[in-house]
Amino acid sequence: MLLDNARAVAPIRKPLPPAWFVDHGHNAEMRWEAMRDQGYLIDTERFFVRNHTRTPQIDAGTWRLRVHGPGVERALELSYGDLEALPSRGLSAVIECAGSGGRDLFGSQQGTPVPGTPWMLGGIGAASWRGVPLGEVLDRAGVRRDAVDVMGHGLDDPYIKDGIDHGSVRRPLTVHKALDDVLIALEMNGSTLPLDHGFPARLVVPGWVGIASIKWLGALEVSDAPLRSPWNTTWYEGLSVQPVKSAFELAWNARLPAGRCITLRGRSWSGHAPIRAVQVSTDGGASWLPARLRGPNLPHVWVRWELPFTPRAGRHELLARATDGTGLTQPDTVPFNRGGYQFWAVARHPVTAA
Ligand SMILES: Nc1nc2c(c(=O)[nH]1)N[C@H]1C(S)=C(S)[C@@H](COP(=O)(O)O)O[C@H]1N2
Ligand SMILES: [Mo]
């Protein structure tokens, strides 16, 4: 009997130490408590993974990126070497799954549960990326004035759900965004893109929902009319920019030492603009104090913050509420949606001091 190699391998290739990740099978969520001693960006081996199927192993020697469609003057086929030879740039950006936090908090905090992977807030990571601006490639294909959308197609297995084959993971973005700041990344944190994060090439779409950043990129379809895929009609419908959110670098239900002053730490981010201010409540939202922002605060990444806290014995709810540079502030509640996407209300983080 032949062994089906494709099925013998785990959906995610890299090790997922339980101290760093919650392993959901196809998805590995980062533990916020493991971020406490980390720097501004996240090490590649600690970066969350969200796969619709499984991480493919692609041969960069035979791999080609196809650029085609009525939105370009000429179709292109670029090899890995061709891409390496094009002008490159680096950028730091968060990638966050639209479902991060929401799959759990819509239920636990607003009483309206959603099905699907019960992500807490760990469907997020920040890294430095290097690659070819998508605009460079579109220029070479002669992007037309009437071009509308660019759809990245992934080379992972077709996504089959409830017996329906939805084809390869793919999602359009506007030509306007494509020409603005989207990267075809070949490197992550200074090294070749790892298998799980899209080797040999992935899109990085700063500020947008994670699904826009197509991994294992095989084709770019450029249209002269709006494009549709199940990933913008059935799932992640109507989503583009990620809202403003915050998280404490603490376990859910963390145990804190009672009567001793500790430093609460966390991070806040927004797809729209850098964070302007973060307020923290240690009494369930009755009173608020400004947190001290520290270190870099780059657009499309995040900012770290801290606040001293001396907990009394017992249970507490910690809240962090960020405001971004556009004035957008995290609300107390957000309207329900079936996908559990973009839960950006202030999270009520339970801790116990003893
Ligand atoms: N080809 C392909 N691209 C994909 C996905 C996928 O399953 N297949 N998942 C998307 C989703 S939902 C997210 S949140 C991000 C996760 O990126 P990461 O696994 O590098 O953290 O990749 C996106 N790109
Ligand atoms: Mo996602």
For the chain, give every domain's residue range. 21-223, 245-353
Q: Can you tell me which atom of ligand 1 is nearest the CA of 159?
A: 7
Ligand 2 center from residue 325 Cα (angstroms)? 25
The CATH superfamily holding the domain 21-223 is Oxidoreductase, molybdopterin-binding domain (3.90.420.10)
Beta-carbon contacts of 335 under 8 Å, excluding residues fewer than 6 positions away, are: none
Q: What is the DSSP secondary-structure string of 233-250?
A: HTSSTT--B---EEEESS
Ligand 2 center from residue 50 Cα (angstroms)? 6
Q: Can you tell me which atom of ligand 1 is nearest the CA of 98?
A: 14
Task: Answer positive or negative: Cα dihedral of 328, 299, 97, 24.
Answer: negative
Q: Which residues line ligand 1 (CB under 6 A)?
A: 47-52, 95, 97, 125, 154, 156, 169, 197, 210-211, 213-216
- The reply to whether domains 21-223 and 245-353 share a CATH topology is no
Q: Can you tell me which atom of ligand 1 is nearest the CA of 26?
A: 7
Written out in words, the top-level CATH class of the domain with range 245-353 is: mainly beta
The pTM for the full model equals: 0.96
Q: What is the DSSP secondary-structure string of 281-343?
A: ESSTTSS-EEPEEEEEE-TTS-EEEEEEE-PPSEEEEEEEEEEETT--B--S-----TT----
Reading the chain (354 residues) residue by residue, the pLDDT tens digits are: 344 444 557 999 999 999 999 999 999 999 999 999 899 999 999 999 999 999 999 999 999 999 999 999 999 999 999 999 999 999 999 999 999 988 889 999 999 999 877 789 999 999 999 999 999 999 999 999 999 999 999 999 999 999 999 999 999 999 999 999 999 999 999 999 999 999 999 999 999 999 999 999 999 999 999 999 999 999 999 999 999 999 999 999 999 999 999 999 999 999 999 999 999 999 999 999 999 999 999 999 999 999 999 999 999 999 999 999 999 999 999 999 999 999 999 999 999 999
Ligand 1 center from residue 55 Cα (angstroms)? 10
Per-residue confidence (pLDDT) for residue 8, from 0 to 100: 59
Ligand 2 center from residue 96 Cα (angstroms)? 7
